[in-house]
Structure 1
Amino acid sequence: MITGALIAKDDTWVLWAIIIVWATVSLFLEQRYQWASTISGAIIALVGAMLLSNFKVIPTSSPVYDTVWDYVVPLSIPLLLFSSNILKIWKESRRLLLIFLVASIGTMIGTTVSFLALNHWIPYLNKIGAMMTGSYIGGGVNFAALSSKLETPSDMISSTVVADNSVMALYFMLLIALPSLPLIKKRFKSDYKRDSTLASQQSYWEPKKIQLLDIACSLASAVTLVAISFKGAELIQHWIPKHNVFLTLIVSFFGDPYLLLTSLTLIAVTVWGDFFENLAGSSEIGTFLIYIFFVVIGTPASFATIITTAPLLFIFVIIILVFNLGLSLFIGKIFNFKIEEILLASNATAGGPTTAAALAISKGWSGLVGPILIVGTLGYVIGNYAGTVMYQWLTFLG
């Protein structure tokens, strides 16, 4: 009988090789095969790691995994925020921005309602609710940051990822089908003509030219921002007294390294917008780091825990999405937003800017691809703030 894992927890290079290779395989399968795209690379990364750990191939804990939590996750945040210039978003896409913010509010209302309904049956739901708020306003980087910050148990993180990605696959199908429904056609404006030629679709996903200097500047900027933020948060916690509510609030937000990192990155991108806008490859590097995170969170997860917790988490996630889309449709109808704008905004909050752009391309809404990519990146910025506020709110309610 095997009591320990085949690979020891201090076998550093072998574990790094397994993590990075499996993250790469997950990305490869997601981009090459329809079935893998449907279930998502995140699920493939997570389930593969679960299989390896549950069958005693790799350990359930290791200093290597701690390195991912402590260094890889923070590094991914600025890399994915370098394209989030607030001034540019407001100038070029303010109409989409407004409905995007409505969808974000819907996410927060839905999280509150689902927490009140299921809090007694799902453990750590205040933390999970905060993570899902960040994810359903921003994306995977916010989910990773908040789960690391709140120290949510890894098996609950894995269960949440399974529920999230499974429901999201069905949600995307719903968003694709909605514009064709007679009820939607009758009640909502729509004036975007279909332009879905193969050439127009492929033009948005052409490989980018990336120079060595782009990679160097991206990593140097990201590491510098992380270093300043984490050291700055440490100094704020140490030097600012908590004598009153205002100072306590300052420390709780700016003494939080993840929120300080988000804020400083946002300021840097706004001040030096041209520099960061011209950096090619930062988003791709950040995304790959998030896939490494998805592999690592699968290692301590047990199949038994996921089987028992995931069904209720399915309901939890569905309630959030119902309020997200429901409020978007309701407010969108009142203020005469086009159905295309409403659905893309909801998609951008729940699935991130890339999936929203994919929806726009598949439906032939070519004029909205650029704007929704720009607006969707804003979610990366506000997701950590919203998730932190939601954690405090849900903890109070609980």
Structure 2
Amino acid sequence: MFYAIIQSDDTWILWAFLAGWAGISIYLEQKYEWASKISGAIVALVGAMLLANFNIIPTESPVYDTVWSYVVPLAIPLLLFQSNILKIWNESGRLLIIFLISSIGTVVGAIVGFFLLKDLIPELYKVVAMMTGSYIGGSVNLAALSARFETPGELISATVVADNLMMALYFLVLMVIPTIAFFRKRFRAPHQELVEQSSNKENKNQAASYWKGKEISLQDIGLAVGSAFALVAISFKLAEIFDKLIPTDGNFILTALNGIFGDNYLMLTTITLLSVTIFSRFFEKIRGAQEIGTYLIYIFFVVIGVPASIPVIIQNAPLLFVLVFVMVALNMFISFLFGKLFKFNLEEIILASNANIGGPTTAAAMAISKGWSKLVAPVLIVGTLGYVIGNYIGAAIGVWLGLF
């Protein structure tokens, strides 16, 4: 029997650790450059992983189950409140096109990576589904799809370690590309040229610059949290009703329909998207939803670090790193190939690929840090679309590859 200093039924102590360590991870990311570079998510995960492996906290607890059952679903609508499809197209149509092309690169990489490694990693289709959603959207999709496919905790942790290492290397590459002569000769870079002309060399911590303080009222908090609860309740109830109404007795079409309409997370994505588009004025006025949703996702990262066995990660992470490398490499290749063919700017291609692999927040942070101020809002808008389509594409890829 596994023994830990803090027992699995020490509910308040465990909640204090989850909520507290998530907060500390965010603080470290915004305060220190080293934490900003490796990301608060990996700080949250590694801290929990170490405490679990040193037998300080338990590897299983009803508290962790509560995070999966309630915290993750609440984070999803909060992070989708700015995902008005009509606004995304009207304000960012050009950037949206290269973003969708980049998403195709992610899907191609997922399929290639799966067939290269499917005999080496058990339940790989679950990881590929999860990472497809994540590499089109972001952490919210990783959380939703890992829950949807019931991916084992150790496999999630090993994947997140490999993913964060890959993202750190890729973002470094993307940051350097605008200074490389090979790319500057072949792509127009008007935003970078403006920055170089103004010679503005001011450096800021990316996380701190993006998550700077803003005015949030009690009304904002009440509407954000209340709306999230309502959306989750309605969506999960509808999914439950459709799951009972649509039989899965071997008929492929009915099984597919059940998988679409009877899935909690796909229904939640759909209902939230429709609500945000139809009632756009209401949701756009709510401030702080993205901050609250992101904090909840950090709690999720703490939890997925808990069941991580270090020997298992050392065993699995190298192979999983190969998977994410293939996905990112093909995303980059297709993004730059078609970006060149369709005459997109270098900055647009870089940010679209970043928004795919890292999500809208990292893409916006990169645009801010590079001084491409005119692209910050468009890439943030386009990147949030990835949250929307990531769950659908990731779920479809997972179901299809699961057949193999």
Compute the TM-score of the two structures, normalised by the length of structure 1. Answer: 0.96
Q: Which residue of 1 aligns with 2:224?
A: 218
Deviations 1:76-119 (A, max 9, x none): 00000001110000001000000000111100000110111111
Distance 1:177 1:25 in 2: 30
In the TM superposition, 1:1-398 aligns within 5 A as: 4-192=3-191, 193-194=194-195, 196=200, 198=202, 206-242=212-248, 244-396=251-403, 398=404
Cα offset for 1:204? 5.9
One-letter amino acid matched to 1:43: I
SS of equivalent to 1:328: helix
Q: Which stretch shifts more, 266-275 or 362-371?
A: 362-371
Cα offset for 1:247? 3.0
Cα offset for 1:198? 4.4
> Does structure 1 conserve the Cα–Cα contact (< 8 Å) formed by 2:203 and 2:369?
no
One-letter amino acid matched to 1:232: L
Distance 2:326 2:266 in 1: 27
Cα offset for 1:43? 1.0
Call closer, same or farther: CA 1:112–1:40 in 2, change over 3 Å. Answer: same
Deviations 1:308-367 (A, max 9, x none): 000111111111001111101011111101111000000001011111111112222111
Distance 1:268 1:277 in 2: 11
Cα offset for 1:136? 0.4
Aligned-residue identity in percent = 59
Distance 1:34 1:283 in 2: 23
One-letter amino acid matched to 2:232: V
Give ranges in structure 2 of 5+ residues lacking alignment: none
One-letter amino acid matched to 1:51: L
- Tell me the matched-pair count: 396
Deviations 1:263-297 (A, max 9, x none): 00000000010111110011000000000001111
SS of equivalent to 1:13: helix
Cα offset for 1:179? 1.4
Distance 1:302 1:149 in 2: 22
